[in-house]
Each structure stands twice: as structure tokens, then as C-alpha cells.
A and B are shown apart, each in its own frame.
Chain A
Amino acid sequence: MGDITAQIAIIGSPNCGKTTLFNRLTGTHQRTGNWPGVTVERKDGRFNLPGGQKVTAVDLPGVYSLHDDIQGVEARVAHRYLREHNPALVLVVLDATRLGRQLSLLPDIIATGKPILLVVNMLDSAKAEGIDVDTAALAQGTGLPVVGVVSSTGEGVAALKVKIQALLEAYPLVSESFDATELAKRVYRPTGQISRTQKIDRWLLHPFYALPFFLLVMYMLFTLAVNLGAVFIDFFDIVLGSIFVEGTRWLAVSIGLPAGLQAVLADGLGGGIQLVGTFIPVIGCLYLCMSALEDSGYLSRAAFVIDRMMAKIGLPGQAFIPLIIGFGCNVPAVMAARALGQESARLTTIFIAPFMSCGARLSVYVFVGTAFFPAQAQNAIFALYLLGILVAIGSAWLLRRKLFKDMAAATITEMPAYHRPLLRNVLTQTWHRLHAFIWRAGKRILMVVLVLNVFASWGTDGSWGNQDSESSMLSATGKVMTPLFIPLGVGDNNWPATVGLFTGLFAKEVVVGTLDTLYAPVGTDQVTSGIVPAPDVGADIKAGLFSIAANLAGLSGALLDPLGLGAVGQGSEHDTPASYTAMLSVFPSAWGAFCYLVFILLYAPCVATIGVMQKEAGHVWLGFSVVWSLLLSYWLASNLWHIGLLLSRPEVALGWMIGSSAVLLIAYRSIMFYMQRDLKHRIAAVNI
């Protein structure tokens, strides 16, 4: 015995403490992945029984029933697992506070014919809520073995392991037929007193206090996730850049690799790792907060409070959180959309989240805005934020009306009881999600960075190391494509603005660097001339640590100004960079610059967002979203520019406005037609 590990499955309804029990049993010996073909997370873990035998536990998705009626994918995954695999034991976790309801899952599982152990969880909460649970009557009524545990404190877990061991050795074949409702009455005796959760709800869902509390929580979520996370971005940027970009280049040069390969390895691969790394702090902080909120039970209350407003754009209340996070960074926003159960709402949220002006875009607005309209920068930036929100609302409305119109929606959702968030659960959850981001989304981000960076480094004369100069392939492409952007008010000779659009795909704040360098009159420094010094990783780590200290010092300001809009006013006080003069001369007018900013806001999300969108929604939906935003941003920006031309050249302006609108309408219709067809084929399988 002991050489073959037995496999046991853990199943239960959502919020029954199943995952807490799983974490309690397996500790850190966990592995996550996806169930084949679907985006439902699969968790496996190992633990030892008192007798030394090794057991593998599989955490099945939380389901109310095994019929795939409402929870399509989750129920299918759970059902298929029970049917096709042969778990030696199925632990059915039941939440003692809602035991009556939970028993209805049992007949489905008994019907699969697998050996079952009932685990009655949260006995402490049941006591606190004034509910009397009779586990002996439960064992007698069902003929199944029963163990009571409190998985949040670990009480009863040792006894559970002993029981598992005994049942793996010999499972008693006694089974009673029972009526779930009748049984519930015998086992579950509420004393009728008002539960703790209801008492807390009195305050947190209070007609007057609910909204202020909600806003406070959202404010804290935003400042903690985005502003606190941002404190550590520079650290990751400096240290990873030192190791993976400079270090790789130094290594490649010292072993005499050709320049092309140097660029691919150092700028492409190293730069990609560096970019993925800079997202770790913000995404990690967001997931810490989100996991804690989820674990506490407040997340569903937040959705309840904001539901009325979200209903107006056809989304459930839960969609509010991803959208608000989007103002900080679109990447975690897309990932946070996972909390939405309904697939059509999740896809819509993923679609519109990139229209929220993220922090990186703000830096571009400030740079261009302070150059062209220093006195009006605040208003221009406010207009851009508002425009993004309007486009998001409009797109959500269109999707709901055209694409998801046949999708029935039910708005009934369970509101779990309040719990103190468990550090163990929060940390495990955060780690799993961060891990998934780094490995799965990271791979996709890396690919795009690789391609873009190679083009940025590769010169038209075949040389390498032409970043941010006129002679790179990227700049050459930019020059060729500039005429395309003249209708946006970009100007005939304004190729740096076009190149900025490409580099903006890396991360929106890169646009600032590109514009600043390309507009600057002096030539750039020679990059790869002869010997490359080895990077001083130690000094860079020190510099990284200093950046944390400096950013922490600036954090107090961020608490009052979470979006960082204060930077808008400051820009004009600084000395104007040399690049401003060149930039002012090549843009035809300030209005043209504003139209360019409109395009920057909407044209396409950055590669990191694209990477997570592909992971979360698949390539069809990603393609739809990118094509949609490209067309829309082009139409919007060019029409805004032509409005400016209405007085001077009315025939050109009107012609353009009518022509482009007609093209947009035709494109929009054909895309919708294609998507409607595709929706039935592909996305329908992913549980709408």
C-alpha cells in the first residue's frame, strides 16, 4: 500500500467552503491548470493520510446541480470528471448554514454510483447564525458517512483524514433512498433568529449608508491595487531590465553572437520578460484585494449596490469592478471580468474595459496636451476620459442589442454569507492567478514584444540597434503609413506620430518616449559600438529599491488623486522639452493633436491587454474587439478633425464625414453578421 496514490474528488455548491477545505488539506502542494477545452480552473493537490498513504485531491468547480442547465461549463466539467475518472472517494462539502438547500445536490452525485463522504462545513458559522445541524440524523437518513468540520480554523480536519483513510480501505455499501426535502427538515433546524449576515447587511446595504461605503471600498481597491502596486513597478522594471536586457546583451556580445541575434535575445526576449514583469506588482495587488473582497462576501454586495446603474447599460452589477480597475490598468481589468458568471456579460465587459483611459494613456495626454494646449490641458484630458466612457457605454449597448439580443439573462444570484477573509485562501488564490498571468498571458505578450522590438532595432540598411531613430524598419514603416493618418489631422511630415502608434502597442506610456526622442532635433546616441559593459546588477537592484522608497513617498499624494491628474498642471511649470518645438511644427494644429490623442485612446489596447484578452476570451473575440476599436477610433478621430475643417473646406469635410460614416456602417454590419454566425459556432460552446 502507499505506492499508488488514490484520487479523491471534492465537490460542493459555490461558496460552501470547498476551496478552503482543499487549501486546508493540501497546503502548498497544489497545481493549477485549466480543464481541457474550457477556461474553468482546475486545481489538484496532494496530501498524506495519517497512515502515510499519499492522496491526490481534485477540487471540482462549485456547482448547484450536475445538470448543465445554468452553470453550463462548470456542471459539465464536474459531471464529466465523475463519469470518466474513477475517484476512490467523493467528498461532498455541505455548508451547514444552508444545509437544507445544499442537500438537493446529493441525489445527482449518488446517481453516479461513486463512494461518497459527506463533509458538513462551517459548523461554527451555523452556531453563530443560530442554526442547529444534526449530523447524526444526516448519516442515518442518507446511509452515508458524515464528518463535521470547520475548515476555516482546521477543526475536525484531522478526524476527516482518519475517516478518509478508513473509507479508502473499506467502503461500507449501505445506501438509503431518501427525500431531500424531508431529510432537510430533520437535519437542519434554524432557530429563527436573525443571522449575523443579515445584521451586517442592515448596515452595508442600508438605503443611505450603502453607497458611501461602496465608494469607500472602491476607492480603497483602486488606490491599493493601482497606486500601491505602481510603487513597485520601477523596481521590477530596473532589475529585470538589468538582468534580462542588459545582461543578455552583454552575454550575447561577449560570446560573439551576430548583431541580429543579439537584438532578438536582448531586446526581444529580454524586453518581453521585462514588460511582463512590470505588470506583476499591479496585478498581484489587485488580486490580493479582489481575493479578500471575494472571500469576505462583500463583492456580491458591491454588485447589489451598483446594480441599478449597470442595468442601464445592460450589464450586471458585478461588471462595475473590472471597469473601475480599467482606469488604472486595462490588464487586470480584463482579468477581473472573470468574476462575472454570465458569459455574455463577461465578454461585453472584456470588450469595453480597454476603452477606459488607463494610467499609461494619461502620460501621453499630459505630454501632448501640455505642448499644444497648456491652458486647456485639464479640460482636454477630462474630455478624453469622458469620450472613453461614452464609447464603452455605446459599445456595450450595441453588443447587447445586436449580438446578445437572443441571449436570455437571469438576474438571480446568490449572496454568500460574510466571512472573515482567510489569509491562506487569499494568498493561495492570488498566487494561482498571478502564476496564470505570468505563464499564460505572459507567453503571448512576449511574442508580440519580440516581433515589435526586432522591427524597432532592425535598420533599413540591415544594421541593428536603431531603436528610436529614423533609420529603423519601424520608422520606415511609419513613414510609409503616415498618409493613412493625415485625415486624423496628423500632418504630412509627421512620421514620428505614426511610429508612436506602433510603439504605443508595447505600452501606452512608451508613446511619450518615442515622440520625445524622435522629435528631438539632435541625433540619438550610438547604441552598440564595440564593447558592451556588463550590467551592474547589484547597483541596479539598489536603484530599484530606491525607486520603491521614492514612489512610496509619493504615495500620500496619490491617495488624494488616485488617477494622477495632478500631473496635468505640473507639466507646464517644467521647462519645455526640446521636442515640443519640433512637435508643434509638424502637427497642423492643436486640434489635430487632440484628434491624435482621441485615436491613441481608442485605437487598440497595449500588447499586455491584448495578451490577456486572448487568454480570457479567445482569439475570435479579441480580433472582433481590435478591429472594432481600430475602425471606430479612426472614424471618430478623422471626423473630429473634419469638423474642424467644416468652415474652411466644407465640401471636403462633409464628403469625408458622409463617406467614412457609410464605410463604418457597412463594416459594422458585416462584422456583426460574421460575429452572430460565429457566436453560435464557437462562443455558444463556452456557456453564454
Chain B
Amino acid sequence: MKRLNELLTGEQGTVCQLEAANELLVRQCKTLGLTPGAVIEVLRQSRGTGPMQIKCEGALYAIRSSDAALICIKVA
């Protein structure tokens, strides 16, 4: 199991848990469908603290790596 921000560009994984540290992020992820079971592909990894680009069910998202660190991923 890894954090989303630890995934490399091109890697895919399944969301297994959203950490409750940022409640707003959890709610937002739920609305956007980034819930346990969703498959996420990393399109662009950030260098350092910048944002990363991910793909989930055909839609693209930008997320800062500090928030990505709160999403646990099971790498396929």
C-alpha cells in the first residue's frame, strides 16, 4: 500500500482509504467519485510540493501532493 503522492508517473492503483485528516478533501473526493475501489492513474507527478495530475474514470484532476498524501492506494 502506498500514498497517492508516492506513485510514479504512469502508475495505476485502486483507492483503498481516504484519511480523515482533511474532512473537506474526503467529502470532495466522495463527490468526485474518488472513493475506495476507484482506479486512479497518475499522469504527472509533481516535483516537491507542486500539484499532480491524475485520471479517474475518464476525468482528469489536479491535486496538491499534500492532499494526495492523505489518499491510500493499493498498486495493482
**A interface with B by C-beta (< 8 Å):** 64-65, 67, 69-71, 97-101, 104, 131, 184, 188, 190, 195, 197-198, 201, 205, 207, 300, 303-304, 307-308, 311, 317, 408-417
Contacts and interface: CB of A to CB of B under 8 A. Distances in A.
Contacts of B62: 300, 303-304, 307, 411-413, 415
B31 A69 contact: yes
Interface in B2-50: 22-25, 27-34, 43-44, 46-50
B24 A64 contact: no
Given A205-B44, A412-B29, A100 B64 contact: no
Contacts of B55: 198
B46 to A, nearest CB: 8
B1 interface: no
A190 B56 CA distance: 12
Given A64-B31, A104-B33, A303-B62, A410 B43 contact: no
Contact of B61 (A67, A99, A308, A412): A412
B48 A100 contact: no
Given A64-B31, A205-B53, A409 B24 contact: yes
Nearest to B54: A412
B58 A131 contact: yes
B32 A308 contact: no
Given A64-B32, A70-B27, A70-B28, A411 B67 contact: yes
A190 B57 CA distance: 9
Contacts of A100: 57-58
Residue among B22, B24, B66, B67 with the highest chain A CB neighbour number at 10 A:
B24
B34 A98 contact: no
Nearest to A197: B60
Nearest to B34: A412
Contacts of B34: 412
Contacts, number: 103
A70 B28 CA distance: 6
Given A98-B57, A104-B33, A307-B62, A410 B22 contact: yes
Interface residues of B, number: 33
Contacts of A98: 57-59
A307 B67 contact: no
Contacts of B32: 64, 101, 412, 414
Given A64-B31, A410-B28, A412-B29, A308 B58 contact: no
B44 to A, nearest CB: 6
Contacts of B25: 408, 410-412
Contact of A201 (B29, B43, B56, B66): B43
Contacts of A410: 22, 24-25, 27-29, 67
Contacts of A70: 24, 27-28, 31
Q: Is the interface of A mostly helix, strand, loop or mixed?
A: mixed
Nearest to B46: A308
B36 to A, nearest CB: 12
A633 to B, nearest CB: 33
A317 B61 CA distance: 14
A70 B23 CA distance: 11
Given A104-B33, A410-B29, A417-B60, 6 more contacts: A69-B31, A101-B58, A205-B53, A307-B62, A411-B64, A412-B28
Given A205-B44, A308-B49, A412-B25, A101 B31 contact: no
Nearest to B60: A415
In the A-B complex, the 8 residue pairs with the closest CB atoms: A411-B64, A308-B50, A408-B24, A410-B25, A415-B60, A412-B63, A100-B57, A410-B24
Nearest to B44: A205
Nearest to A198: B43
Given A198-B43, A201-B53, A412-B25, A101 B66 contact: no
Contacts of B44: 201, 205
Contacts of A413: 61-63
Contacts of B27: 69-70, 410
A530 B69 CA distance: 77
5 contacts: A70-B27, A98-B58, A311-B49, A410-B24, A412-B29
Contacts of B46: 308
A14 to B, nearest CB: 11
A415 B25 CA distance: 17
Contacts of B56: 101
A412 B67 contact: yes
B7 to A, nearest CB: 15
B23 A307 contact: no
Given A70-B27, A408-B23, A307 B64 contact: yes
B73 to A, nearest CB: 14
A146 B14 CA distance: 32
A415 B64 contact: no
Residue among A97, A207, A317, A412 with the highest chain B CB neighbour number at 10 A:
A412
Given A205-B44, A304-B53, A412-B32, A190 B58 contact: yes
Contacts of A99: 58
Contacts of A308: 46, 48-51
A207 B53 CA distance: 13
B23 to A, nearest CB: 6
